[in-house]
């Protein structure tokens, strides 16, 4: 959602400068020449306007004043003079259209590159980064912050250059026309700027309050929309409305004050503008009549025109400057994301296909469905270790943050083909253990080995490729059902997709959907039931035929009848693989080779179902107390 940032006081610091430098780096790297052309066009446009205005002097003095009162005079001179004025203004218009148009291309192109770089970098960031930043906050870098940059590059930056050019060229022209009159104009403009700044500060305070209360109101609406169902279930509609009214009232008050003052600003600065204009006109008239400083009538007319073009950019430039600093704050946030250290992967051991020739395993570029770890030793010798799915934790300690350890002294041996189940109360650390096998996080001490190789030595992509993972919160992407299953193996054939769906027992429900495997799902699979979503994610994990499977509460949302179906499918799926399963249902856990009971990050009991039930310890309690025994 587009939440506007509070408009506070803006200030420049070294971040702002370095962001500006980097931003301009994007512009110059790819559009350097075009940008130089833009600057040239801006100079042409402001000079043409100045020339046009200056020409009024010669128009009046040379072509109008001498002929006043004459009935018959040579009109060709006047005609050409008018043509030249028109010409100058015409060039100004074309040049300013030209630079605005080019700036649109430059800014959109640069932003596209920034978004590309940002997304590419975001994909390389470790999970920890996403734990520390909310999605909304990250999203706003792609929306709000890039939008502020678009406005700055496309509009404000050329405007500010234009304003500066205009101020300089107008100032020089005014000096040429009349030095004393220029002094008067500069003084009265300074007074005008001072007074409008005071008024702006007053309304600025309320604009800040307005933005803050708008942010609160938006946040409240967002929360109420997300929690619609909860509000209705607890019939809290009245309370929600009451809280909303309070926030709405505050916003209304602040907005009224902010806009009240800012509406006053328009007339104030307009009147001050008129005042400056009148002071200049009166002083100019005196100077012209008395012939002081050789000011002619035409000169005065041009000068008065300049007074207008001088005031305007001066009062605009502070505003433009502020909006540039605010946009650069957005740029700083964008670059901050780009500067985050990517997920480190020092792993060298890779996953390769193998085939057996004369009883010997050799590496092959072909897809054989048989895998081995390719280990290059420091002396250059290559060792192939067959991928079997032997996972071991030795004395492993882990915490998401250094100061709060979650897992303590985890000892775990999963032999190829074994099914290891984790049970324990919520928050005990079950998901955390699986997060370590796939190296979403790195452990603080101890070791985790996979087929005898330390997981830190394995290239992350290859490690994850060898694992089939069904995460606790299923996530489906917009696309067809088949596409979603194929996510686990991009080159899978239709037959493989269907086989995987059958293995996960998802085939039956998919065939009953209107378009079967081609049914489009959107919004994280909102049109499917929780259980169906889980079945799809099981199929997605199964399609790659991984030697190790991690199922995190994969069956918890499935009804008892479907559960037995899934169970059969899962048993097929689990055959010959190492499986880590976290499930609250006894049926899933019961036939595990070993059950680990976790409490507060420690394994407190281990053994098979019968042994643990006999032990009458925590496992017995968990399943006789909290869960039904099937």
Ligand X SMILES: Nc1ncnc2c1ncn2[C@@H]1O[C@H](COP(=O)(O)OP(=O)(O)OP(=O)(O)O)[C@@H](O)[C@H]1O
Residues forming the site for Mg ion (CB under 5 A): 431, 472
User: 551 has which bridge partners?
Assistant: 470, 581
Q: Minimum distance from CB of 423 to Mg ion (Å)? A: 11
532 Rama sector, left if φ>0, alpha if ψ -120 to 50, beta otherwise: alpha
| From 201-209, 306-314, 427-435, 456-464, span contacting ligand X (CB under 6 A) | 427-435
Place of tokens 């959907």: 513
Q: Minimum distance from CB of 424 to Mg ion (Å)? A: 10
Please say which residue, 432 or 474, places its beta carbon nearer to ligand X: 432
What lies within 8 Å, CB to CB, of 151 at 6+ separation is 323, 327
410 to 73, 548, 590: CA distances (angstroms): 106, 19, 22
391 to 113, 454, 600, 606: CA distances (angstroms): 42, 10, 22, 16
436's contact among ligand X, Mg ion, none, with CB below 5 to 8 A by partner kind, is none
Tokens of 231: 């509000």
Tokens of 524: 């994280």
| From 112-120, 250-258, 351-359, 423-431, span contacting ligand X (CB under 6 A) | 423-431
400's contact among ligand X, Mg ion, none, with CB below 5 to 8 A by partner kind, is ligand X
Using CB under 6 A as the binding criterion, the count of chain residues that bind ligand X stands at 12
Please say which residue, 60 or 437, places its beta carbon nearer to Mg ion: 437
Contact 518, 524 (CB under 8 A): no
Contact 295, 288 (CB under 8 A): yes
432's contact among ligand X, Mg ion, none, with CB below 5 to 8 A by partner kind, is ligand X
Q: What distance in Å separates the CA atoms of residue 345 and residue 99, rounded to the nearest whole number? A: 46
Taking CB under 6 A as the rule, does residue 427 contact ligand X?
yes
Taking CB under 6 A as the rule, does residue 470 contact ligand X?
no
Please say which residue, 387 or 592, places its beta carbon nearer to Mg ion: 592
Taking CB under 6 A as the rule, does residue 110 contact ligand X?
no
427's contact among ligand X, Mg ion, none, with CB below 5 to 8 A by partner kind, is ligand X
Taking CB under 6 A as the rule, does residue 363 contact ligand X?
no
Q: Minimum distance from CB of 584 to ligand X (Å)? A: 7
- CA 393 from chain centre, in angstroms, equals 37
Rounded CA Rg of the chain: 37
Task: Give the x-and-dash track for 125-164 against ligand X (CB under 6 A).
Answer: ------x---------------------------------
Please say which residue, 30 or 472, places its beta carbon nearer to ligand X: 472
What lies within 8 Å, CB to CB, of 203 at 6+ separation is 258, 260, 261, 262, 264, 265
284's contact among ligand X, Mg ion, none, with CB below 5 to 8 A by partner kind, is none
342's contact among ligand X, Mg ion, none, with CB below 5 to 8 A by partner kind, is none
The one among 103, 288, 354, 428 contacting ligand X by CB under 6 A? 428
Q: Minimum distance from CB of 37 to ligand X (Å)? A: 50
Please say which residue, 430 or 439, places its beta carbon nearer to ligand X: 430
Q: What distance in Å separates the CA atoms of residue 287 and residue 598, rounded to the nearest whole number? A: 95
Binding residues for ligand X restricted to 381-420, rule: CB under 6 A: 400, 406
404 to 399, 408, 444, 478, 576: CA distances (angstroms): 6, 11, 11, 37, 37
Q: What distance in Å separates the CA atoms of residue 606 and residue 93, rounded to the nearest whole number? A: 82
- CA 221 from chain centre, in angstroms, equals 21
Please say which residue, 26 or 393, places its beta carbon nearer to ligand X: 393
Taking CB under 6 A as the rule, does residue 323 contact ligand X?
no
Q: Minimum distance from CB of 602 to Mg ion (Å)? A: 16
Q: Which residues of 150-175 are buried (b: 16+ CB within 10 A; e: fewer)?
A: bbbbbbbbbbbbbbebbbebbeebbe
| From 271-279, 332-340, 379-387, 430-438, span contacting ligand X (CB under 6 A) | 430-438
406's contact among ligand X, Mg ion, none, with CB below 5 to 8 A by partner kind, is ligand X
Q: What distance in Å separates the CA atoms of residue 366 and residue 161, rounded to the nearest whole number? A: 61
User: 384 has which bridge partners?
Assistant: 374
Q: Minimum distance from CB of 556 to Mg ion (Å)? A: 10
Taking CB under 6 A as the rule, does residue 67 contact ligand X?
no
Taking CB under 6 A as the rule, does residue 437 contact ligand X?
no
Please say which residue, 181 or 595, places its beta carbon nearer to ligand X: 595
Taking CB under 6 A as the rule, does residue 431 contact ligand X?
yes
Q: Minimum distance from CB of 584 to Mg ion (Å)? A: 10
383's contact among Mg ion, ligand X, none, with CB below 5 to 8 A by partner kind, is none
For residue 250, which of 216, 222, 294 has the smallest C-alpha distance? 216
429's contact among ligand X, Mg ion, none, with CB below 5 to 8 A by partner kind, is ligand X
598 to 422, 431, 603, 629: CA distances (angstroms): 7, 11, 5, 19
| From 186-194, 247-255, 408-416, 426-434, span contacting ligand X (CB under 6 A) | 426-434
Catalog residues that contact ligand X under the rule CB under 6 A: 131, 400, 406, 424, 426-432, 472
């Amino acid at each position: 959602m587009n939440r506007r940032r509070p408009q506070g006081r803006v200030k420049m610091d070294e971040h702002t400068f370095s962001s500006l430098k980097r931003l301009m780096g994007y512009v110059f790297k790819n559009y350097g020449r075009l940008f130089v052309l833009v600057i040239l066009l801006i100079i042409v446009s402001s000079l043409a306007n100045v020339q046009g205005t200056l020409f009024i002097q010669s128009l009046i003095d040379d072509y109008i004043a001498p002929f006043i009162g004459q009935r018959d005079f040579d009109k060709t001179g006047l005609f050409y003079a008018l043509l030249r004025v028109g010409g100058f203004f015409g060039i100004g218009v074309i040049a300013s259209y030209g630079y605005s148009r080019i700036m649109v291309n430059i800014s959109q192109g640069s932003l596209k590159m920034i978004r590309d770089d940002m997304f590419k970098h975001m994909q390389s960031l470790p999970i920890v980064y996403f734990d520390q930043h909310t999605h909304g906050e990250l999203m706003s870098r792609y929306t709000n912050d890039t939008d502020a940059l678009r406005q700055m590059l496309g509009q404000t930056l050329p405007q500010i250059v234009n304003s500066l050019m205009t101020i300089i060229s107008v100032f020089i022209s005014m000096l040429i026309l009349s030095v004393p009159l220029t002094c008067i104009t500069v003084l009265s403009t300074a007074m005008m700027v001072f007074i409008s700044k005071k008024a702006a500060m007053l309304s600025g305070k309320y604009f800040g309050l307005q933005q803050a209360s708008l942010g609160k109101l938006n946040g409240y609406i967002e929360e109420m929309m997300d929690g619609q169902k909860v509000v209705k279930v607890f019939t809290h509609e009245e309370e929600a409305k009451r809280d909303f009214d309070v926030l709405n009232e505050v916003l209304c008050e602040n907005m009224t004050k902010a806009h009240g003052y800012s509406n006053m600003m328009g007339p104030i600065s307009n009147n001050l503008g008129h005042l400056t204009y009148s002071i200049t006109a009166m002083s100019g008239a005196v100077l012209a009549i008395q012939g002081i400083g050789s000011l002619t009538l035409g000169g005065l007319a041009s000068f008065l025109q300049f007074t207008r073009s001088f005031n305007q950019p001066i009062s605009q430039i502070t505003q433009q400057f502020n909006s540039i600093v605010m946009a650069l704050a957005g740029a700083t946030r964008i670059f901050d994301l780009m500067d985050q250290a990517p997920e480190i992967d020092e792993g060298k051991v890779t996953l390769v296909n193998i085939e057996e020739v004369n009883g010997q395993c050799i590496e092959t570029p072909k897809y054989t469905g048989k895998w081995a770890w390719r280990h290059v030793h420091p002396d250059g010798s290559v060792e192939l270790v067959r991928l079997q799915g032997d996972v071991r934790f030795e004395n492993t300690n882990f915490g998401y943050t250094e100061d709060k350890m979650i897992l303590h002294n985890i000892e775990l041996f999963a032999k190829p083909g074994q099914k290891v189940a984790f049970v324990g109360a919520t928050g005990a650390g079950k998901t955390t253990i699986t997060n370590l096998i796939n190296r979403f996080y790195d452990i603080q001490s101890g070791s985790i080995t996979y087929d005898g190789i330390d997981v830190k030595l394995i290239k992350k992509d290859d490690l994850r490729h060898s694992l089939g993972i069904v995460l606790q919160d299923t996530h489906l992407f917009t696309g067809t059902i088949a596409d979603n299953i194929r996510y686990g193996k991009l080159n899978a054939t239709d037959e493989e997709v269907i086989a995987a769906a059958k293995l996960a027992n998802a085939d039956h429900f998919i065939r009953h959907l209107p378009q079967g495997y081609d049914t489009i799902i959107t919004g994280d699979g909102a049109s499917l039931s929780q259980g169906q979503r889980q079945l799809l994610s099981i199929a997605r994990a199964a399609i790659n035929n991984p030697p190790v499977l991690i199922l995190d509460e994969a069956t918890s949302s499935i009804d008892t009848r479907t559960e037995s179906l899934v169970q059969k499918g899962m048993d097929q799926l689990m055959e010959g693989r190492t499986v880590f399963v976290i499930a609250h249902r006894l049926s899933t856990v019961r036939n595990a080779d070993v059950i680990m009971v976790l409490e507060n990050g420690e394994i407190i009991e281990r053994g098979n179902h019968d042994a643990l039930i006999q032990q009458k310890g925590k496992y017995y309690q968990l399943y006789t107390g909290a869960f039904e025994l099937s």
